[in-house]
Amino acid sequence: MRSKSPPCLSEERRDKDGAPAFQLAARNVAYTVSKLTDYSAGALERASAELFSALGEEASAVKNEADWKVFRDRWMARKNGVLTQVNELWLKAAPREAKREVGQVVNRVKEQVEQKIKGAKDWLDAPSLEIMHPGYTVSAEELEKYRFEKIGSVDITLPGIRRPIGAEHPVVKTTNEMVRVFQKLGYSVAEGPVVETDYYNFESLNFPPNHPARDTQDTLFIAGQQAKPQRERLLLRTHTSPVQIRTMEKMRPPLRIVIPGTVHRNDPPDASHSPMFHQIEGLAVDSNITFGDLKGTLDHAMKEFFGSSVKTSFRPSFFPFTEPSAEMYVSCFICGGSGRRGSDPCRPCKQTGWIEILGCGMVDPNVFEFVKDNGYDPRKVSGFAFGMGADRIALLKYGVDDIQLFFQGDVRFLRQWA
């Protein structure tokens, strides 16, 4: 059942002082401010309640811009507006011992008047819902409910305003899909801090002291760290690999974890680089793990993610924390490994038919030495690790040619993947 419409505004009139006044259907006489003779708390409460009641009725009667201007001037005009009269007849006329209590009431009245005047204006501007939510159609009932809420009168019989449903960001969606692949293989998800120490980010991962990655041209260091020992200096992690060490310090082998997260490097933003991006790393440690286990695990994961027709290839490489190390390629899932898309060359694979997807390798025994006391004796256990860029995979999967589009927050772009 629909509630009754708010009282209508009849023709404008003038009060005895010439100020514009409302004549409401709900009132025989427009509200006027009376001089107080009783300044007790109860009398102040009754006077302010009567004023607020009149304020609410007059606000509800605003139907157009002209009504709103009359309403605003009646209550806020400097010479004879209601607020001015309240200040003269209530506050200035109050005895000294009552001025504090009266002043608090007057301040509350002023706040309510300003709020109602703004609410009445918002009532007139209610179609701005369509601006706040592009492409969202506002029904008549929703529009009425929005207007009533803005001026403080809520019709609870009307349905709520439906909000547009969001969707996962392409990079988040890609990360979650890849993580689920490894979760099915028995891997658990591990996380760690973004602000790291030099020890966890470099030293415990077998980076030598003079390694180029430790230079400020590659790594973002926290300011004011010069007085600390090098291993204690803080920085923004350049990979999620520190979580591997932190997890091995807490858990004894066997261990299988996948590590998604944000990382930072001192790279100027362009179509293929960003100072902040996302990585997914994995670590498996047990007795008698071989490079064959690494190849079989990653081959299965890529087929699960990109499709069963995808082929994988491993080529020798170097990383400080793995030995031997390799880069893994997948056959281009866009051109099918042919290097061409019809008569045009395939850009994602640069016409080679292969796309580099991640780096991997067997965990270097020197890394295990840092956690040897927790059961990771390199003579008894072995393991493999891998790491890939979630942003790069999302670029390939969704056919995007500029990584900056992922970070600009353009709803028109992101809505494509909803």
Query: In terms of C-beta density within 10 A (0-12 exposed, 13-18 middle, 19 or more buried), how is residue 105 classed?
Result: buried
Q: With a cut of 60, say whether residue 16 has pLDDT above it.
A: no
**CA within 13 Å, CB half, 55:** 28
In sequence order, what DSSP letters do the residues of 95-142 get, joined into one string?
Answer: -GGGHHHHHHHHHHHHHHHHHHHHHHHHHHTGGGHHHHSTTPPPPHHH
Q: What is the pTM of this model?
A: 0.60
- Report whether 283 contacts 385 (CB < 8 A): yes
DSSP single-letter state for residue 370: T
Which region among 134-138, 309-313, 324-328 has the lowest average model confidence (pLDDT)? Answer: 134-138
Q: Which two tokens stand for residue 248?
A: 């091995």
Q: Are 381 and 357 in contact (CB under 8 A)?
A: no
Both tokens assigned to 300: 């299965």
The DSSP secondary structure of 258-309, one letter per residue, reads EEEEEEE------SS--SEEEEEEEEEEETT--HHHHHHHHHHHHHHHH-TT
Q: Which CATH architecture has domain 170-417?
A: 2-Layer Sandwich (3.30)
Res. 28 pLDDT band, cuts 50 70 90: very low
pLDDT band (50, 70, 90) for residue 147: low
Q: How confident is the model at residue 24 (pLDDT cuts 50, 70, 90)?
A: very low
Which of 336, 346, 330 lies closest to 392, judged by CA?
A: 330
Q: How far is CA 70 from CA 75, 84, 215, in A?
A: 9, 16, 68
CA atoms within 13 A on the CB side of 96: 0
CB 394, CB 400: distance < 8 Å? yes
Residues 388-398 have pLDDT tens digits of 999 999 988 88
Q: Which residue in 390, 366, 402, 368 sits closest to 240, CA to CA? A: 390
Looking at residue 83, its amino acid is L
Residue 19's pLDDT is 44
Residue 323: is its pLDDT beyond 80? yes
Q: pLDDT at position 259, please?
A: 97
d(CA 23, CA 8) in angstroms, rounded, equals 9
Q: Which of 21-35, 75-89, 116-130, 131-145 has the highest mean pLDDT?
A: 75-89
255-264 vs 188-189, strand pairing mode: parallel
Give the end-to-end CA distance of the chain in Å, rounded to a whole number.
Answer: 37
The per-residue pLDDT for range 41-91, each reduced to its tens digit, is 888 888 888 998 888 888 888 888 888 889 899 998 888 889 989 888 888
- Which amino acid appears at position 318 of this protein? F
**Residue 123 and residue 154 in contact, taking contact as beta carbons nearer than 8 Å:** no
Name residues whose C-beta falls within 8 Å of residue 178's C-beta, 6 or more positions apart in sequence: 260, 280, 301, 305, 388, 390, 393
255-312, pLDDT tens digit by residue? 999 999 999 998 888 888 899 999 999 999 999 999 999 999 999 999 999 888 889 9
Q: For 60-98, give one letter per residue: b (16+ CB within 10 A) or e.
A: bbbeeeebbebbbebbebeebbbbbbbbebbbeebeeeb
Query: Residue 11 — pLDDT band, cuts 50, 70, 90?
Result: very low
Nearest CA to 34 out of 54, 18, 14 is that of: 54
Q: Which pLDDT belongs to residue 196?
A: 95
User: Do 236 and 220 form a contact (C-beta atoms < 8 A)?
Assistant: yes
Listed by start position, the domains of the chain span: 13-124, 170-417
- Do the Cβ atoms of 149 and 141 come closer than 8 Å? no
pLDDT at position 296 is 95
Between 306 and 182, where is the model more confident?
182
- C-alpha 33 chain-centroid distance: 49
The letter for the amino acid at 262 is T
401 vs 135: CA distance, rounded Å? 27
Alpha helices in 184-231 (DSSP H): 198-201
Strands 382-389 and 255-264: unpaired
pLDDT of 246 higher than 50: yes
Counting Cβ atoms within 10 Å, is residue 133 exposed (0-12), middle (13-18) or buried (19+)?
middle
Q: What is the mean pLDDT of the chain?
A: 83
